[in-house]
Structure 1
Amino acid sequence: MFEMLSDVFKENGLILSFALVGVVMYFSYMLSDKFTKGRLHGSAIAILVGLVLAYIGGVTTGGEKGLSDIGIFTGIGLMGGGMLRDFAIVATAFGANIEEIKKAGFTGILSLFLGVVVSFIVGVAIALAFGYTDAVSLTTIGAGTATYIVGPVTGTALGASSEVITLSIAAGLVKSILTMIGTPFIAKYIGLDNPRSAIVYGGLMGTTSGVAGGLAATDPKLVPYGAMTATFYTGLGCLLAPSILFIITRSIFG
């Protein structure tokens, strides 16, 4: 019986992955509602659960892809891949009103560049504090502080070691989770209550998942606007980090 179910799960891995994610999300939002009154967003809890499951999968199999290394959960690897991720980001951005985006104007564009550069500088400073001194490692970790997508893209382009690329992803994940958790607490203090401020906030913070989750806990209507500029932020980071920012870092640190 178990072997038959295992074969069915393996043959329908993507369907099982959707079901698994649905169950995790259901319980995460239930925990968020009952124990934190929505202050700790369900998405943040779900990310933590996902990280724990990935760790368990890696330890159990000795593999490198987390839970998807377990035979019946191979569909997780496809579902968590870049294709569906980018589809979800684009689908979210389509909910934005173009007229509201135009209102952000120069401020929105400026927030994108400031967000990437400031995050990069913070990441480089942290890398220096932990003993990294070469330009490639500094740039990769700095890029990861921008987002956990920009980090590996930059590291791969510059030939960084797998350990440094992993650290850049970890830095981006920490930023994403902190943004998701902290946004509802600071929203009223920074005027995060309208589409224009959401556009600027998304440009400054950059992490699409963190901004979307945080805005969802603040006001779901703001999610498309924050996600829109956060998406552009990722693209801008992928352009700037391995080129201009790397050249500047190398000229300073050699």
Structure 2
Amino acid sequence: MWAFIKHDLEANSLVTAFAVVGVIMWVSMVLSKRLTYGRIHGSAFAIVIGLVLAWVGGTMTGGQKGLADLSLFSGIGLMGGAMLRDFAIVATAFEVQATEARKAGLIGAVALLLGTVLPFIFGASVAWAFGYRDAVSMTTIGAGAVTYIVGPVTGAAIGASSAVIALSIATGLIKAILVMVCTPMAARWMGLDNPRSAMVFGGLAGTVSGVTAGLAATDRRLVPYGALTATFHTGLGCLLGPSVLYFIVRGIMGA
């Protein structure tokens, strides 16, 4: 009986992946409600559960794709790939009202620039403090502090090692978790109660997953606005990381 069920699950791997993620999200939302009374969004629990499952899958198989290395969960590799990820990010922008988006104006553009440059400087400085003195490693880890997408994109473009790229992803994940956990607690202090402030916040914070989850726990109506500028933030980082920022670091470090 189990062999029959397993065959069907493997044959419909993408459907299985959606079911697994659905169960994880349901468990995460229950944990959020029961353990933190909604103060920490379920997405934070989901990311932690996902990281644990990825470690378990990699340990069991010795592979490089986490849980997706198990044939039963191979669809997670497709579901978590760039195609569906980018589709989900772009889809959030369809709820944005253009009249509200224009209100961000110049301050929104400044927030995007600051949200890219300041985390990069911090990440590159931390990399230097831990002994990474070459421009490639410093740039890659600094880009990871922008977002965990910008880090590997930048690292791949400038020839960083797999270990450094992994560090950049870890840096971005820590940032995403901190943003999604801290946003609801600091929302009143930051004035996160209107689309304009949400767009500025999205530009400064940058991480799409962190901003989306944090705003969802604060006010669901603000999610599309924060996600919109956070998406632009990721694109801007991918453009500046392997070009302008890399050459600046290279000019300073000399290698």
* TM-score by shorter chain over 0.5: yes
CA distance, structure 2, for counterparts of residue 2 and residue 34 of structure 1: 33
AA matched with 1:232: F
2:120 corresponding residue in structure 1: 120
Which residue of 1 is the match for residue 178 of structure 2?
Answer: 178
Report the count of equivalent residues: 254
How big is the shift at 1:166? Answer: 0.4
Name the counterpart of 1:13: 13
Q: Which residue of 2 aligns with 1:202?
A: 202
Per the alignment, residue 41 of structure 2 pairs with 41
Normalized against structure 1, the TM-score is what?
0.99
- Secondary structure, aligned partner of 2:160: coil
- 1:140-219 paired onto structure 2 within 5 Å: 140-219=140-219
Give deviations 1:100-152, integer Å, cap 9, x for gaps: 11011000011000000001001001101111000000000000110010000
1:243 aligned partner: 243
Q: Which runs of 4+ in 1 moved over 2 A?
A: none
Deviations 1:41-70 (A, max 9, x none): 001001100000000000010000000000
Q: Counterparts of 1:81-120 in structure 2 under 5 Å?
A: 81-120=81-120
Q: Could you tell me which amino acid in structure 1 is paired with residue 14 of structure 2?
A: L
Structure 1 residues without counterparts, runs of 5 or longer:
none
What is the aligned partner in structure 1 of residue 75 from structure 2? 75
> Equivalents in 1 of 2:179, 2:245: separation in Å?
24
Q: Distance in 1 between matches of 2:180 and 2:19?
A: 24
Structure 1 position 90, deviation (Å): 0.8
Q: Using the alignment, how far apart are the partners of 2:176 and 2:251 within structure 1?
A: 30
Q: Which residue of 2 aligns with 1:232?
A: 232
**Structure-2 residue corresponding to 1:135:** 135
* CA positional deviation for 1:4: 1.8
Partners of 1:129 and 1:233 lie apart in 2 by 26
Identity of aligned residues (%): 62
2: CA distance, partners of 1:229 / 1:71: 37
Query: CA deviation digits over 1:153-176, x for unaligned, max 9?
Result: 000000000000000000000000
Question: In the alignment, is residue 61 of structure 1 matched against residue 61 of structure 2?
Answer: yes
What SS is found at the alignment partner of 2:116?
A: helix
| CA distance in 1 between partners of 2:135 and 2:79 (Å) | 34
Query: Are residue 50 (structure 1) and residue 50 (structure 2) matched?
Result: yes
CA drift at 1:3: 2.0
Q: Which amino acid aligns with 1:243?
A: S
What is the letter of the counterpart of residue 117 of structure 2?
V
CA shift for structure 1 position 2:
2.4
Q: Which amino acid aligns with 1:247?
A: F
Q: Provide the rounded CA distance (Å) in 1 between the counterparts of 2:125 and 2:41.
A: 30
- Which amino acid is 1:159 matched to? G
Counterpart AA for 1:76: I
Whichever residue aligns with residue 127 of structure 2, its letter is: A
Segments of 5+ residues of structure 2 without an aligned counterpart are none
SS in 1 for 2:119: helix
Give the Cα separation in 2 of the matches to 1:98 and 1:126. Answer: 39
